[in-house]
Amino acid sequence: MFLPPDRFCIPSNPSPTLEGAAIVPHPSPLRLPVLPIWASVAAPPSANRRWTWSGLARWVSVGVAMLSLGCSEEWAEERPPTTWLEGRALVAGVPLTRGWVELSPVPGTVGTFRSGRIGSDGRFRVDGLTVGRHSARIVHPPAGVMIPPVAYQLGSPLVVEVRAPGPNRMDLDFFGLTARPWGDSEP
């Protein structure tokens, strides 16, 4: 049985090295078991305390409430307008066949990073983008495709202007780091 440190004492010993000193129990007759806080929920029923579903539900709801406090996005007074961007992910004019396009707001643009999966035809769609300028990067492209290392970095020099509610259709070329309106480049 574990007892808290105040239940022990070290007897005084005239020796400066404390040779022969031993830890002995404190003479107090009151001994309380030390249990973690969750033990009251998980402990089996006893004569004094009954385990109930309402007690378990209370602890679970407190835990869920504590976890949900950190899961909200905070904006100013109102949320900024959001829109979408769709297009093709290209490398030197050739569509990529898989991977992800990630867009993160550049300094001066409010919002969070968003991503969209690249389909087998090179097309992608990213929803929930805030209006403004976003840096585009490629993640998990197909093996063997030659892409400059700068296209993988957060803060890539490939910047896209997202407008609302306008048509946001772009061809993103990750080799030349260029963004052109949809249809200006043919694979």
Q: Mind listing the pLDDT tens digit for each residue in 11-33?
A: 444 445 555 555 555 555 555 55
Q: Average pLDDT in the 129-140 region? A: 91
The percentage of the chain sitting over the pLDDT mark of 70, rounded to a whole number, equals 63
Top pLDDT among 151 and 73 is at 151
The DSSP result for the chain, as a single string, is ----GGGEE----SSTT-TT---EE-S-S-------TTHHHHSPP-SS----HHHHHHHHHHHHHHHHTTS----SSSPPPEEEEEEEEEETTEEPSS-EEEEEEPTT-----EEEE--TTSEEEEEEEESEEEEEEEESPPTT----GGGGSTT-S-EEEE-SSS--EEEEETTTTEEEETTSS--
SS3 (DSSP) at 40: helix
What is the distance in angstroms between the CA of the first residue and the CA of the last residue of the chain?
74
Q: Highest mean pLDDT range out of 37-46, 98-107, 156-165?
A: 98-107
Q: Mean pLDDT score of the chain, rounded to an integer?
A: 75
Structure confidence at residue 111 (pLDDT): 87
The whole-model pTM stands at: 0.56
Structure confidence at residue 87 (pLDDT): 93
Which domains are assigned to the chain?
5-68 (no CATH), 82-181 (2.60.40.10)
Q: Average pLDDT in the 31-42 region? A: 52
